[in-house]
Amino acid sequence: MSKEPKPVDWQAIGPSARMESTLNYADWKLTADTNDKNEPSRYKSTGHTISDAHSIEEGGRTYQAYKDGQKSSYYLPNDGAEQDRLDVQHKMFRVLLDGKLGLAPVPVDKPFHVLDIATGTGIWALDYAEENPLSRVTGTDLSLIQPKRTWVPNCEFIRDDAEDSWLFPQKFDYIHLRAIASCFSDTQAVMKQAFDHMNEGAYIELQDFVAVCIGDETMEGTGIHRWAQLLNTGFLAMGRDMLRATRYKAWLEEIGFTDVVELRESMPTNAWPRDRKYKEVGRWATLDCASGIPGLSTRALPAAGLTPEECLRVVQQALNDIHNRSIHAIIPIYIVYGRKPFAHESK
């Protein structure tokens, strides 16, 4: 259903102007902090590492393999390090969204069904269920890495491949997908299944990275910039366009969603901005990236044609740069939501 990836218009998502220590992105600016002290950070996790028996080991990491024990078409690990990273990333998203779990205007004053596709450790689903006691939340994932007996009675987890036919007994009022750019061979087909399994008036929301580094002249030629470019090349070679979030709005509208809103946010690669909120986002981003860069690279960089030695060098340089606050770079995040129209709204 998806069309061929077309090249991203870098100017459209890139910095609109360059100043010495200020990075312009979308409608706002991030100014670099030259006088920064590190502060300790706290975050919540789903608990201990949960091992999925349907996994295979490769290069010291484990990957999900539940379909006949085969290598899946999902290229990130599912081990303890990855689970910790996902919980850190969840914290980063909460800081970015001012504590909110989503931005779609979902009515929460009566019982409603929520689906979190590709839920990871389930931390979003658990938080949502806990904060919205009238909701019944289902989290699905290829890997069973969510708490088994949850302390939140209105939340359950099931193993499911979102690219298979959906068999849910009920329709949903809110479907959420986060950080799924690398997941599906056909994201628009997953969106279409969501549309078919939603009640009229229900919302879908996607929150996702566009896997590029955007920055001022301090970023040019750095390891983190090179790594992001090679990552995209590798994922494209494996059939995953990591820039696809730029097309979510158009895809939702094509399917028939209405009132589709696209918001562009930004994750600084570390605590370089002066702005308090983005500095905190950047702190979580450093932790996220320090663990995510190796995990994202293991399969993608060889697919980009790098030798094992080159992979290690590129990853090491990217890891060094992640801690370098004189590099002013961000990774774009798109938040896109839309509503399934009521029958009377259809033409």
Ligand X SMILES: C[S@@+](CC[C@H](N)C(=O)[O-])C[C@H]1O[C@@H](n2cnc3c(N)ncnc32)[C@H](O)[C@@H]1O
Q: Is 74 in the site for ligand X (CB under 6 A)?
A: yes
Q: Which stretch binds ligand X (CB under 6 A): 156-164, 208-216, 231-239, 240-248?
A: 156-164
Q: Are 263 and 334 in contact (CB under 8 A)?
A: yes
Asked if 271 contacts 38 with a C-beta cutoff of 8 angstroms, the reply is yes
DSSP 147-178: -SS-S-TTEEEEE--TTSPP--SS-EEEEEEE
Residue 116 or 173: which CB sits closer to ligand X?
Answer: 116
What are the percentages of helix, strand and coil residues in the chain, rounded to 5?
Answer: 35, 25, 45
252: tokens are 């939702």
DSSP 185-248: S-HHHHHHHHHHTEEEEEEEEEEEE----EE-TTTTT-HHHHHHHHHHHHHHHTT--TTGGGGH
Which residue's CB comes closest to ligand X? Answer: 120
The β-bridge partners of 25 are: 28
Contacts of ligand X in 165-194 (CB under 6 A): 178-180, 183-184
Under the binding rule (CB under 6 A), the answer on residue 251 touching ligand X is: no
**Residue type, position 255, single letter:** I
In angstroms, give the least distance from the CB of 78 to ligand X: 6
Closest distance of CB 162 from ligand X, Å: 4
Among 95, 137, 142, 301, binds ligand X (CB under 6 A): 142
Does 143 contact ligand X by CB under 6 A? yes
- Given the rule CB under 6 A, which of 12-20, 135-143, 248-256, 294-302 is the region that contacts ligand X? 135-143
Task: Choose the stretch contacting ligand X; rule: CB under 6 A; options: 17-25, 37-45, 84-92, 338-346.
Answer: 84-92
How many helical (H) and strand (E) elements, i.e. helices and strands, does the chain have? 8, 12
Residue 339 engages ligand X in binding (rule: CB under 6 A)? no
Q: Between helices 80-96 and 276-303, what is the axis angle to 10°? A: 140
Closest CB 120 distance from ligand X, rounded Å: 3
Q: Does 115 bind ligand X (CB under 6 A)?
A: no
Position 86 contacts ligand X (CB under 6 A): yes
| Single residue of 15, 77, 102, 120 touching ligand X by CB under 6 A | 120
55 lines the binding site for ligand X (CB under 6 A): no
Please give the residue ranges that form the binding site for ligand X (CB under 6 A).
Answer: 64, 74, 76, 78, 86, 89-90, 118-120, 124, 140-143, 161-163, 178-180, 183-184
